[in-house]
A = this chain, B = another copy of it.
């Protein structure tokens, strides 16, 4: 069987299984999720053995220790998977909800009812815990999952799929509801991206090259974000404590994630008071600064920011700083260099905050709050399968509801169109 043929077969199997999971009761789904959790717990030895194969192979290939670390399923990582399953089981089920309803003048009762998307393919790198997290979120929202992790996590993902499959089976579900692509062959990804007849959505997660590859090659709708170039803009009137807390939290609490601040914009009337304070704090945390000309006029020791710095997602203890002469210039900067991800204003002026909120079109626009809140859990969506900066379907964190759509249900008593 060729790789392409195999991919068509697993995609068709997923499509056929999708009716069962779409119609399943919430209670049945939750029981199955908890059973997966139990069976993962009971299978630690098997998981560790499979994971060991991946780790040995990775060592031979010369992966960095950071990459090895992401690949390893230690007991705390397994516990986090189990806890994730329990949390998803506890979340409300969006399927079957009435999103809206109304009655037409001719008596037709219209409602928009929430239904699953159908079959969701995830393409991701390294971390095998994504396999379990993604399976849980797709399953709870009534969807089939086709999972393709990084080739270096192949054995880990296959054993996780086996355990999930056995738990589904034991719970009366078709095991094709969650499938891991059973090959390392790279051609499998290209084939998967062409199965628009059987797959409703592709979610890539990983570095920008992976995501660009998926967008270039997919005929299936894709939800993705390339990068998070997030800004904090400190306005001319501001609260010093708030501004310092927000900037430090946005930059240094976890610099390696997409909702960390990458560029700080400061109104020129605020610069004299604010910059000396924040510079000291940032230096205490060993944050490297790259500044605009005006910043360097105040702080001559600061490295010069080049144009490419304004585009950069450092994901590190590095920060670009620019002094702007107006809020309009700050908004222009965000429009030109931003990535529609997360942008925040710190201001004491409600009216100016409103203008900023109205004119910045990012998935999260914040007022006097850290950029780090752009996260499914923090915003109250429960869990998230990723953050979208595509404006179609979902813009921002994607929780269970974002893995569903709505259909129109029309109830009549013989109405016809005239």
Contact = CB atoms under 8 A, between A and B. Distances in A.
Interface string A112-140: 01010110000000000000000000000
Interface string A341-368: 0000000000001000111011111111
Nearest to A388: B405
A408 B369 contact: no
Nearest to A361: B115
Residue among A104, A118, A196, A366 with max Cβ neighbours from chain B (10 Å) = A366
Nearest to A364: B408
A74 interface: no
Contacts of A365: 407-410
A378 B410 CA distance: 11
B242 A413 contact: yes
Contact of A246 (B335, B368, B409, B416): B416
A10 interface: no
A178 interface: no
Contacts of A242: 413-414
A303 B242 CA distance: 78
Contact residue range for chain A?
Answer: 35 or more
A317 interface: no
Interface in A75-95: none
B407 A362 contact: yes
B22 A410 contact: no
Given A102-B380, A110-B380, A410-B367, A221 B372 contact: no
Given A221-B390, A413-B242, A414-B246, A373 B407 contact: no
Contact of A200 (B113, B362, B392): B392
Given A102-B380, A378-B417, A117 B391 contact: yes
A229 B364 CA distance: 40
Given A23-B358, A397-B408, 13 more contacts: A118-B391, A201-B391, A215-B219, A221-B222, A221-B392, A239-B414, A245-B414, A246-B416, A253-B416, A364-B410, A366-B411, A370-B417, A373-B415
